[in-house]
A and B are shown apart, each in its own frame.
Chain A
Amino acid sequence: MNRTSLLALQILVAVVAIALWHVLTKYPVCGLSYFGAEKDCATILPPFFFSTPLDVASRIVRWFVEGTIWKHLWITLVEAMLAFVVGSLAGVLIGFWFARKPMINAVFDPYVKMLNALPRVVLAPIFALWFGLGIASKVALGVTLVFFIVFFNVYQGVKEVSPTVLANARMLGMSERQLMRHVYWPSALSWMFSSLHTSVGFAVVGAVVGEYLGSAAGLGYIIQQAEGVFDVAGVFAGMFVLAVFVIAIDMIVTLIEKRLLVWRPVAAMDTR
Protein backbone atom coordinates (compact mmCIF):
# COMPACT_ATOMS: atom_id res chain seq x y z
CA MET A 1 0.00 0.00 0.00
CA ASN A 2 1.39 3.39 -0.91
CA ARG A 3 1.56 6.39 1.39
CA THR A 4 -1.33 8.34 -0.11
CA SER A 5 -3.89 5.57 0.11
CA LEU A 6 -2.73 4.72 3.62
CA LEU A 7 -3.19 8.34 4.65
CA ALA A 8 -6.60 8.39 2.95
CA LEU A 9 -7.70 5.32 4.93
CA GLN A 10 -6.40 6.80 8.17
CA ILE A 11 -8.38 9.99 7.56
CA LEU A 12 -11.43 7.95 6.60
CA VAL A 13 -11.42 6.30 10.05
CA ALA A 14 -11.50 9.73 11.73
CA VAL A 15 -14.21 11.01 9.40
CA VAL A 16 -16.45 7.98 10.01
CA ALA A 17 -15.97 8.17 13.77
CA ILE A 18 -16.74 11.89 13.91
CA ALA A 19 -19.71 11.55 11.55
CA LEU A 20 -21.13 8.77 13.71
CA TRP A 21 -20.65 10.88 16.82
CA HIS A 22 -22.34 13.81 15.08
CA VAL A 23 -25.33 11.78 13.94
CA LEU A 24 -25.83 10.04 17.28
CA THR A 25 -25.74 13.27 19.27
CA LYS A 26 -27.60 15.54 16.84
CA TYR A 27 -30.56 13.68 15.39
CA PRO A 28 -33.35 12.57 17.70
CA VAL A 29 -34.87 9.12 17.44
CA CYS A 30 -38.44 8.70 18.64
CA GLY A 31 -39.74 5.94 20.90
CA LEU A 32 -36.69 5.86 23.16
CA SER A 33 -36.95 6.10 26.87
CA TYR A 34 -33.86 6.13 29.06
CA PHE A 35 -32.21 8.10 31.82
CA GLY A 36 -35.74 8.90 32.91
CA ALA A 37 -36.29 10.97 29.78
CA GLU A 38 -39.81 12.29 29.64
CA LYS A 39 -39.90 13.19 25.98
CA ASP A 40 -40.57 10.45 23.47
CA CYS A 41 -37.95 11.71 21.07
CA ALA A 42 -34.26 12.00 22.03
CA THR A 43 -30.82 11.55 20.52
CA ILE A 44 -29.22 8.17 21.14
CA LEU A 45 -26.23 9.79 22.86
CA PRO A 46 -27.37 12.70 25.01
CA PRO A 47 -25.22 15.79 24.26
CA PHE A 48 -25.00 16.55 27.97
CA PHE A 49 -22.81 13.48 28.49
CA PHE A 50 -21.21 13.21 25.06
CA SER A 51 -21.19 16.80 23.76
CA THR A 52 -21.18 17.16 19.96
CA PRO A 53 -18.33 17.39 17.45
CA LEU A 54 -19.36 20.93 16.49
CA ASP A 55 -19.35 22.15 20.09
CA VAL A 56 -15.95 20.60 20.72
CA ALA A 57 -14.55 22.05 17.48
CA SER A 58 -15.85 25.52 18.21
CA ARG A 59 -14.38 25.32 21.73
CA ILE A 60 -10.96 24.44 20.33
CA VAL A 61 -11.17 27.22 17.76
CA ARG A 62 -12.13 29.68 20.49
CA TRP A 63 -9.15 28.64 22.63
CA PHE A 64 -6.75 29.23 19.81
CA VAL A 65 -8.41 32.43 18.57
CA GLU A 66 -8.50 33.95 22.04
CA GLY A 67 -5.01 32.57 22.62
CA THR A 68 -5.75 31.19 26.09
CA ILE A 69 -4.51 27.72 25.16
CA TRP A 70 -0.93 28.70 24.33
CA LYS A 71 0.05 29.31 27.94
CA HIS A 72 -1.25 25.87 28.97
CA LEU A 73 0.45 24.11 26.05
CA TRP A 74 3.72 25.83 26.87
CA ILE A 75 3.56 24.86 30.54
CA THR A 76 2.87 21.22 29.68
CA LEU A 77 5.66 21.21 27.11
CA VAL A 78 8.19 22.66 29.55
CA GLU A 79 7.21 20.16 32.24
CA ALA A 80 7.44 17.23 29.84
CA MET A 81 10.79 18.30 28.42
CA LEU A 82 12.31 18.89 31.85
CA ALA A 83 11.03 15.52 33.05
CA PHE A 84 12.48 13.87 29.95
CA VAL A 85 15.90 15.51 30.24
CA VAL A 86 16.32 14.97 33.98
CA GLY A 87 14.90 11.42 33.88
CA SER A 88 17.06 10.44 30.89
CA LEU A 89 20.27 11.84 32.37
CA ALA A 90 19.69 10.06 35.66
CA GLY A 91 18.66 6.87 33.84
CA VAL A 92 21.75 6.85 31.60
CA LEU A 93 24.21 7.53 34.41
CA ILE A 94 22.74 5.12 36.94
CA GLY A 95 21.98 2.48 34.31
CA PHE A 96 25.59 2.60 33.17
CA TRP A 97 26.88 2.47 36.69
CA PHE A 98 24.70 -0.51 37.66
CA ALA A 99 25.62 -2.44 34.52
CA ARG A 100 29.35 -1.99 35.06
CA LYS A 101 29.23 -2.74 38.79
CA PRO A 102 27.39 -6.04 39.33
CA MET A 103 27.79 -5.71 43.09
CA ILE A 104 25.87 -2.41 43.20
CA ASN A 105 23.24 -3.91 40.96
CA ALA A 106 22.85 -7.00 43.16
CA VAL A 107 22.40 -4.90 46.30
CA PHE A 108 19.90 -2.44 44.84
CA ASP A 109 18.01 -4.81 42.56
CA PRO A 110 15.01 -5.50 44.88
CA TYR A 111 14.61 -1.80 45.64
CA VAL A 112 14.68 -0.84 41.98
CA LYS A 113 11.99 -3.42 41.29
CA MET A 114 9.91 -2.21 44.24
CA LEU A 115 10.04 1.41 43.16
CA ASN A 116 9.29 0.53 39.56
CA ALA A 117 6.24 -1.50 40.56
CA LEU A 118 4.78 1.42 42.51
CA PRO A 119 1.92 3.18 40.70
CA ARG A 120 3.21 6.73 40.22
CA VAL A 121 -0.20 8.30 40.74
CA VAL A 122 0.09 7.69 44.47
CA LEU A 123 3.28 9.74 44.46
CA ALA A 124 1.60 12.82 42.97
CA PRO A 125 0.12 14.16 46.25
CA ILE A 126 3.45 13.65 48.01
CA PHE A 127 5.31 15.50 45.29
CA ALA A 128 2.72 18.29 45.52
CA LEU A 129 3.48 18.51 49.25
CA TRP A 130 7.23 18.47 48.72
CA PHE A 131 7.57 20.62 45.63
CA GLY A 132 4.40 22.73 45.72
CA LEU A 133 1.72 23.07 43.09
CA GLY A 134 4.03 24.62 40.46
CA ILE A 135 6.08 23.03 37.70
CA ALA A 136 8.50 21.17 39.97
CA SER A 137 6.02 18.59 41.29
CA LYS A 138 4.93 17.69 37.71
CA VAL A 139 8.52 17.36 36.58
CA ALA A 140 9.23 15.08 39.54
CA LEU A 141 6.31 12.84 38.60
CA GLY A 142 7.47 12.67 34.98
CA VAL A 143 11.02 11.90 36.07
CA THR A 144 9.90 8.84 38.06
CA LEU A 145 8.28 7.51 34.88
CA VAL A 146 11.06 8.38 32.41
CA PHE A 147 13.90 7.31 34.66
CA PHE A 148 12.97 3.64 34.84
CA ILE A 149 12.44 3.24 31.11
CA VAL A 150 15.80 4.79 30.31
CA PHE A 151 17.49 3.03 33.21
CA PHE A 152 16.38 -0.46 32.15
CA ASN A 153 17.23 0.18 28.50
CA VAL A 154 20.70 1.53 29.17
CA TYR A 155 21.36 -1.33 31.60
CA GLN A 156 20.28 -3.81 28.93
CA GLY A 157 22.32 -1.99 26.29
CA VAL A 158 25.51 -2.32 28.29
CA LYS A 159 24.80 -5.93 29.26
CA GLU A 160 23.85 -7.10 25.80
CA VAL A 161 26.88 -5.97 23.87
CA SER A 162 27.70 -8.84 21.54
CA PRO A 163 30.50 -10.93 23.14
CA THR A 164 32.14 -11.22 19.72
CA VAL A 165 32.20 -7.45 19.23
CA LEU A 166 33.63 -7.11 22.73
CA ALA A 167 36.31 -9.75 22.13
CA ASN A 168 37.15 -8.07 18.83
CA ALA A 169 37.51 -4.70 20.54
CA ARG A 170 39.85 -6.23 23.12
CA MET A 171 41.92 -7.97 20.46
CA LEU A 172 42.20 -4.66 18.59
CA GLY A 173 43.89 -3.34 21.71
CA MET A 174 41.21 -1.26 23.41
CA SER A 175 41.75 -0.28 27.03
CA GLU A 176 38.87 -0.27 29.55
CA ARG A 177 38.26 3.43 28.86
CA GLN A 178 38.30 2.94 25.10
CA LEU A 179 35.89 0.03 25.45
CA MET A 180 33.61 2.35 27.38
CA ARG A 181 33.72 5.00 24.70
CA HIS A 182 33.67 2.89 21.55
CA VAL A 183 31.60 -0.11 22.61
CA TYR A 184 29.50 0.21 25.78
CA TRP A 185 28.47 3.82 25.31
CA PRO A 186 27.19 3.55 21.70
CA SER A 187 25.41 0.32 22.53
CA ALA A 188 23.71 1.81 25.60
CA LEU A 189 22.70 4.95 23.68
CA SER A 190 21.21 2.94 20.86
CA TRP A 191 18.99 1.09 23.33
CA MET A 192 18.02 4.36 24.95
CA PHE A 193 17.12 5.92 21.62
CA SER A 194 15.07 2.91 20.64
CA SER A 195 12.87 3.63 23.67
CA LEU A 196 12.70 7.34 22.91
CA HIS A 197 9.03 7.21 21.90
CA THR A 198 8.04 5.50 25.11
CA SER A 199 10.05 7.76 27.38
CA VAL A 200 8.93 11.00 25.72
CA GLY A 201 5.34 9.75 25.87
CA PHE A 202 5.67 9.01 29.58
CA ALA A 203 7.17 12.44 30.21
CA VAL A 204 3.97 13.96 28.79
CA VAL A 205 1.81 11.54 30.80
CA GLY A 206 3.64 12.52 34.00
CA ALA A 207 3.12 16.21 33.31
CA VAL A 208 -0.57 15.91 32.46
CA VAL A 209 -1.43 13.59 35.34
CA GLY A 210 0.41 15.92 37.72
CA GLU A 211 -1.53 18.89 36.43
CA TYR A 212 -4.77 17.00 36.66
CA LEU A 213 -4.23 16.18 40.31
CA GLY A 214 -3.42 19.71 41.36
CA SER A 215 -2.15 22.77 39.52
CA ALA A 216 -3.05 26.18 38.13
CA ALA A 217 -2.06 25.71 34.49
CA GLY A 218 -1.43 23.13 31.75
CA LEU A 219 -3.53 20.78 29.63
CA GLY A 220 -4.28 18.52 32.58
CA TYR A 221 -5.55 21.56 34.49
CA ILE A 222 -7.90 22.53 31.63
CA ILE A 223 -9.38 19.06 31.49
CA GLN A 224 -9.76 18.87 35.25
CA GLN A 225 -11.46 22.30 35.41
CA ALA A 226 -13.90 21.36 32.67
CA GLU A 227 -14.78 18.10 34.41
CA GLY A 228 -15.40 20.01 37.62
CA VAL A 229 -18.29 21.90 36.03
CA PHE A 230 -19.65 19.05 33.85
CA ASP A 231 -18.37 20.85 30.77
CA VAL A 232 -18.06 17.78 28.57
CA ALA A 233 -17.22 19.83 25.45
CA GLY A 234 -14.30 21.33 27.37
CA VAL A 235 -13.07 17.88 28.46
CA PHE A 236 -13.18 16.50 24.93
CA ALA A 237 -11.56 19.63 23.51
CA GLY A 238 -8.75 19.32 26.04
CA MET A 239 -8.28 15.63 25.21
CA PHE A 240 -8.19 16.41 21.52
CA VAL A 241 -5.58 19.15 21.89
CA LEU A 242 -3.53 16.80 24.08
CA ALA A 243 -3.73 14.05 21.45
CA VAL A 244 -2.52 16.35 18.66
CA PHE A 245 0.22 17.67 20.95
CA VAL A 246 1.45 14.12 21.64
CA ILE A 247 1.39 13.18 17.94
CA ALA A 248 3.39 16.32 17.06
CA ILE A 249 6.03 15.44 19.67
CA ASP A 250 6.12 11.85 18.45
CA MET A 251 6.80 13.04 14.90
CA ILE A 252 9.69 15.19 16.10
CA VAL A 253 11.08 12.19 18.00
CA THR A 254 10.88 10.08 14.84
CA LEU A 255 12.89 12.70 12.95
CA ILE A 256 15.56 12.83 15.66
CA GLU A 257 15.69 9.03 15.82
CA LYS A 258 16.22 8.73 12.08
CA ARG A 259 19.22 11.03 12.28
CA LEU A 260 20.77 9.40 15.33
CA LEU A 261 20.34 5.76 14.37
CA VAL A 262 21.41 5.79 10.72
CA TRP A 263 23.66 2.83 11.39
CA ARG A 264 20.76 0.62 12.40
CA PRO A 265 19.02 -1.80 10.07
CA VAL A 266 15.50 -0.55 9.38
CA ALA A 267 13.76 -3.62 10.80
CA ALA A 268 15.46 -3.24 14.15
CA MET A 269 14.52 0.40 14.43
CA ASP A 270 10.82 -0.14 14.83
CA THR A 271 10.80 -1.42 18.38
CA ARG A 272 7.69 0.32 19.56
Chain B
Amino acid sequence: MAAGSSAPAVGTVTPAVSLSDVQVSFRLADDTTYTAVQRATLDVADGEFVAIVGPTGCGKSTLLNVAAGLIAPSNGTSMIFGSPLTGLNRQAGYLFQAEALFPWKTATENVAIGLEIAGTPKTQARERAQQWLTRVGIGGFGDRYPHMLSGGQRKRVGLVQVLIRDPKILLMDEPFGPLDAQTRQIMGNLLLDLWSADRKAVLFVTHDLEEAIALSDRVVIMSAGPAARIIGNWTVPLARPRDIAEVKLERAFHELHREIWEALKDEVMKGYQQTGGG
Protein backbone atom coordinates (compact mmCIF):
# COMPACT_ATOMS: atom_id res chain seq x y z
CA MET B 1 0.00 0.00 0.00
CA ALA B 2 1.19 3.48 -0.81
CA ALA B 3 0.09 4.66 2.59
CA GLY B 4 2.30 2.16 4.39
CA SER B 5 5.51 2.83 2.46
CA SER B 6 5.68 6.50 3.34
CA ALA B 7 4.99 5.89 7.03
CA PRO B 8 8.23 5.34 8.96
CA ALA B 9 10.15 8.55 8.36
CA VAL B 10 12.94 9.14 10.85
CA GLY B 11 11.95 11.13 13.92
CA THR B 12 8.28 11.53 13.01
CA VAL B 13 5.59 8.90 12.88
CA THR B 14 2.86 9.31 10.29
CA PRO B 15 -0.48 9.54 12.06
CA ALA B 16 -3.19 7.06 11.12
CA VAL B 17 -5.68 9.87 10.70
CA SER B 18 -4.69 13.44 10.20
CA LEU B 19 -7.33 16.11 9.75
CA SER B 20 -6.07 19.62 9.21
CA ASP B 21 -8.15 22.77 9.03
CA VAL B 22 -11.22 20.77 8.11
CA GLN B 23 -14.36 22.76 7.45
CA VAL B 24 -17.70 21.21 6.57
CA SER B 25 -20.54 23.32 5.21
CA PHE B 26 -23.91 22.26 3.94
CA ARG B 27 -26.20 24.18 1.65
CA LEU B 28 -29.63 24.34 3.17
CA ALA B 29 -32.97 24.32 1.38
CA ASP B 30 -33.37 28.12 1.65
CA ASP B 31 -29.99 28.59 -0.07
CA THR B 32 -28.14 29.63 3.06
CA THR B 33 -24.98 27.85 4.09
CA TYR B 34 -24.69 26.02 7.37
CA THR B 35 -21.21 25.42 8.67
CA ALA B 36 -21.15 22.35 10.89
CA VAL B 37 -17.46 22.11 11.63
CA GLN B 38 -14.84 24.82 11.37
CA ARG B 39 -11.05 24.61 11.29
CA ALA B 40 -10.79 21.25 12.96
CA THR B 41 -7.26 19.90 13.24
CA LEU B 42 -6.79 16.49 14.77
CA ASP B 43 -4.21 13.71 14.58
CA VAL B 44 -4.75 10.15 15.67
CA ALA B 45 -1.53 8.13 15.96
CA ASP B 46 -1.42 4.50 14.95
CA GLY B 47 -2.59 2.45 17.91
CA GLU B 48 -4.01 5.45 19.74
CA PHE B 49 -7.52 5.55 21.18
CA VAL B 50 -8.96 9.06 20.83
CA ALA B 51 -12.41 10.08 22.05
CA ILE B 52 -14.24 13.13 20.72
CA VAL B 53 -16.67 14.64 23.21
CA GLY B 54 -19.00 17.54 22.63
CA PRO B 55 -22.53 18.83 23.22
CA THR B 56 -25.42 17.54 21.15
CA GLY B 57 -25.44 18.67 17.56
CA CYS B 58 -21.86 19.92 17.62
CA GLY B 59 -20.72 18.07 14.54
CA LYS B 60 -18.73 15.27 16.17
CA SER B 61 -20.29 12.75 13.83
CA THR B 62 -19.67 15.04 10.87
CA LEU B 63 -15.97 15.06 11.70
CA LEU B 64 -16.03 11.26 11.97
CA ASN B 65 -17.73 11.01 8.59
CA VAL B 66 -14.99 13.16 7.10
CA ALA B 67 -12.40 10.70 8.43
CA ALA B 68 -14.50 7.86 6.94
CA GLY B 69 -14.70 9.57 3.58
CA LEU B 70 -18.51 9.59 3.73
CA ILE B 71 -18.46 13.40 3.67
CA ALA B 72 -15.97 15.44 1.68
CA PRO B 73 -14.76 18.51 3.60
CA SER B 74 -15.48 21.89 1.98
CA ASN B 75 -12.04 23.02 3.07
CA GLY B 76 -8.93 21.48 4.57
CA THR B 77 -7.46 18.04 4.08
CA SER B 78 -7.74 14.63 5.61
CA MET B 79 -4.77 12.30 5.35
CA ILE B 80 -4.88 8.60 6.09
CA PHE B 81 -1.45 7.14 6.90
CA GLY B 82 0.11 10.02 5.01
CA SER B 83 -1.98 9.79 1.83
CA PRO B 84 -4.74 12.26 1.08
CA LEU B 85 -8.17 10.71 1.37
CA THR B 86 -10.22 10.61 -1.80
CA GLY B 87 -13.49 8.75 -1.73
CA LEU B 88 -14.20 6.24 1.00
CA ASN B 89 -11.58 5.42 3.58
CA ARG B 90 -10.72 1.81 2.71
CA GLN B 91 -8.45 1.42 5.76
CA ALA B 92 -11.24 2.17 8.20
CA GLY B 93 -14.01 0.20 9.81
CA TYR B 94 -17.06 2.19 10.91
CA LEU B 95 -19.40 1.27 13.74
CA PHE B 96 -22.63 3.24 13.47
CA GLN B 97 -24.90 4.53 16.19
CA ALA B 98 -28.12 3.51 14.43
CA GLU B 99 -29.02 -0.01 13.36
CA ALA B 100 -26.71 -0.82 10.47
CA LEU B 101 -26.92 -4.61 10.23
CA PHE B 102 -28.57 -6.12 7.17
CA PRO B 103 -31.95 -7.21 8.50
CA TRP B 104 -32.30 -9.92 5.83
CA LYS B 105 -29.07 -11.65 6.82
CA THR B 106 -28.45 -13.82 9.88
CA ALA B 107 -25.82 -12.78 12.43
CA THR B 108 -23.25 -15.09 10.82
CA GLU B 109 -24.07 -13.84 7.32
CA ASN B 110 -23.85 -10.25 8.52
CA VAL B 111 -20.38 -10.82 9.92
CA ALA B 112 -19.17 -12.94 7.00
CA ILE B 113 -20.31 -10.51 4.31
CA GLY B 114 -17.29 -8.23 4.70
CA LEU B 115 -14.99 -11.14 3.84
CA GLU B 116 -17.26 -12.58 1.16
CA ILE B 117 -17.38 -9.40 -0.88
CA ALA B 118 -13.59 -9.23 -0.69
CA GLY B 119 -13.43 -12.66 -2.30
CA THR B 120 -13.06 -15.08 0.62
CA PRO B 121 -14.86 -18.38 -0.15
CA LYS B 122 -18.24 -18.58 1.54
CA THR B 123 -17.63 -21.54 3.85
CA GLN B 124 -14.33 -20.11 5.03
CA ALA B 125 -15.88 -16.68 5.63
CA ARG B 126 -18.75 -18.22 7.59
CA GLU B 127 -16.31 -20.20 9.72
CA ARG B 128 -14.31 -17.10 10.58
CA ALA B 129 -17.54 -15.25 11.32
CA GLN B 130 -18.59 -17.99 13.70
CA GLN B 131 -15.23 -17.76 15.49
CA TRP B 132 -15.62 -14.01 15.91
CA LEU B 133 -19.15 -14.37 17.22
CA THR B 134 -17.91 -16.91 19.74
CA ARG B 135 -15.13 -14.53 20.74
CA VAL B 136 -17.66 -11.85 21.69
CA GLY B 137 -19.83 -14.36 23.51
CA ILE B 138 -22.70 -14.86 21.08
CA GLY B 139 -21.49 -17.98 19.28
CA GLY B 140 -24.86 -19.64 19.82
CA PHE B 141 -26.82 -16.92 18.03
CA GLY B 142 -25.26 -17.16 14.57
CA ASP B 143 -28.42 -18.23 12.77
CA ARG B 144 -30.63 -15.54 14.28
CA TYR B 145 -31.78 -12.53 12.32
CA PRO B 146 -31.06 -9.08 13.79
CA HIS B 147 -34.62 -8.52 15.00
CA MET B 148 -34.35 -11.68 17.10
CA LEU B 149 -31.32 -10.33 18.97
CA SER B 150 -31.20 -7.90 21.89
CA GLY B 151 -29.71 -4.42 21.46
CA GLY B 152 -26.46 -5.49 23.12
CA GLN B 153 -26.20 -8.61 20.97
CA ARG B 154 -26.77 -6.57 17.82
CA LYS B 155 -23.94 -4.23 18.85
CA ARG B 156 -21.67 -7.23 19.29
CA VAL B 157 -22.56 -8.45 15.81
CA GLY B 158 -21.92 -4.94 14.47
CA LEU B 159 -18.57 -4.78 16.23
CA VAL B 160 -17.28 -8.07 14.81
CA GLN B 161 -18.77 -7.26 11.40
CA VAL B 162 -16.28 -4.40 11.35
CA LEU B 163 -13.38 -6.16 13.10
CA ILE B 164 -13.39 -9.30 10.95
CA ARG B 165 -12.08 -7.22 8.05
CA ASP B 166 -9.14 -6.18 10.24
CA PRO B 167 -9.25 -2.45 9.44
CA LYS B 168 -6.26 -0.34 10.49
CA ILE B 169 -8.53 2.39 11.80
CA LEU B 170 -11.71 2.04 13.81
CA LEU B 171 -14.28 4.84 13.63
CA MET B 172 -17.09 4.68 16.16
CA ASP B 173 -20.08 7.00 16.28
CA GLU B 174 -21.65 6.78 19.75
CA PRO B 175 -21.81 3.03 19.19
CA PHE B 176 -23.16 2.24 22.64
CA GLY B 177 -25.53 5.21 22.80
CA PRO B 178 -28.83 3.32 22.63
CA LEU B 179 -27.82 0.68 25.20
CA ASP B 180 -28.68 0.61 28.90
CA ALA B 181 -26.01 1.51 31.47
CA GLN B 182 -24.95 -2.03 32.39
CA THR B 183 -24.74 -3.20 28.80
CA ARG B 184 -22.70 -0.12 27.91
CA GLN B 185 -20.17 -0.96 30.57
CA ILE B 186 -19.91 -4.57 29.42
CA MET B 187 -19.57 -3.47 25.81
CA GLY B 188 -16.91 -0.93 26.79
CA ASN B 189 -14.82 -3.59 28.49
CA LEU B 190 -15.32 -5.92 25.53
CA LEU B 191 -14.14 -3.19 23.18
CA LEU B 192 -11.02 -2.54 25.28
CA ASP B 193 -10.29 -6.29 25.36
CA LEU B 194 -10.54 -6.62 21.60
CA TRP B 195 -8.61 -3.41 21.04
CA SER B 196 -5.72 -4.36 23.31
CA ALA B 197 -5.23 -7.62 21.35
CA ASP B 198 -4.09 -5.65 18.30
CA ARG B 199 -3.99 -1.92 18.80
CA LYS B 200 -5.77 -0.14 16.01
CA ALA B 201 -6.14 3.60 15.78
CA VAL B 202 -9.57 4.41 17.21
CA LEU B 203 -11.64 7.54 16.83
CA PHE B 204 -14.54 7.25 19.23
CA VAL B 205 -17.34 9.82 19.25
CA THR B 206 -19.50 10.11 22.36
CA HIS B 207 -21.42 12.68 24.37
CA ASP B 208 -20.63 10.82 27.57
CA LEU B 209 -17.50 12.28 29.15
CA GLU B 210 -17.08 9.42 31.64
CA GLU B 211 -17.18 6.86 28.88
CA ALA B 212 -14.64 8.90 26.90
CA ILE B 213 -12.14 9.12 29.76
CA ALA B 214 -12.57 5.49 30.79
CA LEU B 215 -11.91 4.17 27.29
CA SER B 216 -9.43 6.48 25.64
CA ASP B 217 -5.82 7.64 25.63
CA ARG B 218 -6.78 11.15 24.69
CA VAL B 219 -10.00 13.18 24.97
CA VAL B 220 -10.77 15.90 22.45
CA ILE B 221 -13.48 18.45 23.24
CA MET B 222 -15.57 20.23 20.62
CA SER B 223 -17.48 23.48 21.07
CA ALA B 224 -21.21 23.82 20.51
CA GLY B 225 -22.31 24.12 16.89
CA PRO B 226 -22.82 25.67 14.43
CA ALA B 227 -19.25 26.15 13.24
CA ALA B 228 -17.99 23.85 15.97
CA ARG B 229 -14.27 23.92 16.70
CA ILE B 230 -11.95 21.70 18.66
CA ILE B 231 -11.41 23.56 21.90
CA GLY B 232 -9.41 21.19 24.06
CA ASN B 233 -7.20 18.17 24.16
CA TRP B 234 -6.43 16.10 27.28
CA THR B 235 -4.21 13.07 27.67
CA VAL B 236 -5.69 10.43 29.94
CA PRO B 237 -3.05 9.35 32.50
CA LEU B 238 -4.76 6.09 33.49
CA ALA B 239 -2.86 2.80 33.24
CA ARG B 240 -3.98 -0.05 30.99
CA PRO B 241 -5.43 -2.63 31.03
CA ARG B 242 -8.46 -0.91 32.50
CA ASP B 243 -11.76 -2.07 33.81
CA ILE B 244 -14.36 0.56 33.05
CA ALA B 245 -16.22 0.21 36.33
CA GLU B 246 -13.06 0.26 38.46
CA VAL B 247 -11.24 3.00 36.61
CA LYS B 248 -14.08 5.37 37.42
CA LEU B 249 -13.24 5.08 41.12
CA GLU B 250 -9.67 6.28 40.67
CA ARG B 251 -8.59 9.70 41.83
CA ALA B 252 -6.89 10.60 38.57
CA PHE B 253 -10.13 9.87 36.79
CA HIS B 254 -12.04 12.34 38.97
CA GLU B 255 -9.47 15.06 38.64
CA LEU B 256 -9.40 14.78 34.89
CA HIS B 257 -13.17 14.62 34.74
CA ARG B 258 -13.50 17.83 36.77
CA GLU B 259 -10.91 19.58 34.65
CA ILE B 260 -12.50 18.65 31.34
CA TRP B 261 -16.00 19.32 32.61
CA GLU B 262 -14.99 22.91 33.50
CA ALA B 263 -14.19 23.47 29.85
CA LEU B 264 -17.13 21.50 28.52
CA LYS B 265 -20.07 22.70 30.57
CA ASP B 266 -20.41 26.17 29.04
CA GLU B 267 -20.47 24.57 25.61
CA VAL B 268 -23.05 22.05 26.72
CA MET B 269 -25.33 24.86 27.91
CA LYS B 270 -24.84 26.68 24.62
CA GLY B 271 -25.59 23.50 22.74
CA TYR B 272 -28.84 23.04 24.62
CA GLN B 273 -29.96 26.60 24.02
CA GLN B 274 -29.26 26.31 20.31
CA THR B 275 -31.05 23.05 19.81
CA GLY B 276 -33.97 24.27 21.88
CA GLY B 277 -33.53 21.39 24.30
CA GLY B 278 -32.96 21.44 28.03
Asked if A110 CB lies within 8 Å of chain B CBs, one says no
A182: which B residues are within 8 A, CB to CB? 102, 105, 113, 117
Chain B positions 63-114 with a Cβ under 8 Å from a chain A Cβ: 68, 70, 88-90, 92-94, 96, 98-106, 113-114
Say which one of A163-171, A202-210, A211-219 lies at the interface with B.
A163-171
Asked if A262 CB lies within 8 Å of chain B CBs, one says yes
The residue in A168, A263, A265 that gathers the most chain B C-beta atoms within 10 A of its C-beta is: A168
Say which one of A5-13, A60-68, A73-81, A172-180 lies at the interface with B.
A172-180
Are B98 and A186 in contact, with the CB atoms below 8 A? no
B90: which A residues are within 8 A, CB to CB? 173
A165: which B residues are within 8 A, CB to CB? 99-103
B88: which A residues are within 8 A, CB to CB? 170-171
Asked if B199 CB lies within 8 Å of chain A CBs, one says no
- Shortest beta-carbon distance from B218 to chain A in Å: 24
Asked if A56 CB lies within 8 Å of chain B CBs, one says no
A263: which B residues are within 8 A, CB to CB? 103-106, 145-147
Are A262 and B145 in contact, with the CB atoms below 8 A? yes
The interface of chain B, by Cβ under 8 A from chain A, is: 68, 70, 88-90, 92-94, 96, 98-106, 113-114, 117-118, 145-147, 161-162, 165
> Which 4 residue pairs are nearest across A and B when measured between Cβ atoms?
A168-B100, A263-B145, A171-B94, A186-B104
Q: List 25 A-B contacts (CB under 8 A).
A: A162-B99, A164-B96, A164-B100, A165-B100, A165-B101, A165-B103, A167-B70, A167-B94, A167-B100, A170-B88, A171-B68, A171-B70, A172-B113, A173-B90, A173-B114, A182-B105, A183-B102, A186-B102, A186-B104, A187-B104, A190-B104, A263-B105, A263-B145, A263-B146, A263-B147
Q: A170-B88, A263-B106 are in contact. List 20 more A-B contacts (CB 8 A).
A: A162-B100, A164-B96, A164-B99, A165-B101, A165-B102, A165-B103, A167-B70, A167-B96, A171-B93, A171-B94, A172-B113, A172-B117, A172-B162, A173-B90, A182-B102, A182-B117, A183-B102, A262-B145, A263-B147, A264-B103
